[in-house]
């Protein structure tokens, strides 16, 4: 999906209860295919910078399942634990432009949004931890 605010390509989702608990996030292949080159069963790295500027590396794997189709899993146990991710948190991976001195693989800014109730209204705020 196109992130109009930042003018960058992004993909996102709301975490399920099991994704928050197991610290593995799942994406449909079609959601993430434009961002990565996959080989089935092989791992790949997802390099991100969080809202505080800290760099993280996650491990992703591409799978094909005859019952559910193609999907990608991204493991991020330490990140999930440190950030205290919960079910229904929205995670947004925004592609960062590559600088000339950087390696050729893609890097992302990872934004986490959490819904809070304020004065009777639901508001999505960026989690800055």
Going along the chain from its start, the domains and CATH numbers come out as: 2-126 (2.40.330.10)
φ and ψ of 77, to 5 deg? -60, -45
φ and ψ of 21, to 5 deg? -75, -45
| pLDDT score recorded for residue 109 | 92
Q: Give the global pTM.
A: 0.81
| pLDDT score recorded for residue 26 | 94
E strands, the chain, are 2-3, 8-14, 24-28, 43-49, 55-65, 69-75, 90-96, 107-118, 121-126
Higher pLDDT among residues 79 and 96, named by residue: 79
Q: From the CA atom positions of the chain, what is the Rg in Å? A: 15
């Amino acid at each position: 999906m196109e992130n109009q605010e930042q003018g960058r390509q992004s993909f996102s989702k709301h975490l399920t209860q099991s994704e928050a608990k197991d610290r593995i996030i799942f994406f449909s292949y079609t959601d993430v295919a434009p961002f990565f080159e996959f080989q089935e069963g092989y791992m790949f790295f997802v390099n991100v910078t969080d809202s505080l500027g800290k760099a993280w590396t996650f491990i992703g794997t591409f799978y094909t399942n005859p019952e559910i189709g193609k999907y990608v899993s991204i493991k991020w146990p330490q990140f999930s634990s440190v950030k205290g991710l919960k079910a229904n948190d929205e995670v947004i991976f925004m592609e960062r432009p590559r600088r000339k001195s950087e390696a050729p693989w893609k890097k992302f800014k990872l934004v986490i949004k959490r819904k809070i109730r304020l004065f009777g209204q639901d508001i999505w705020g960026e989690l800055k931890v």
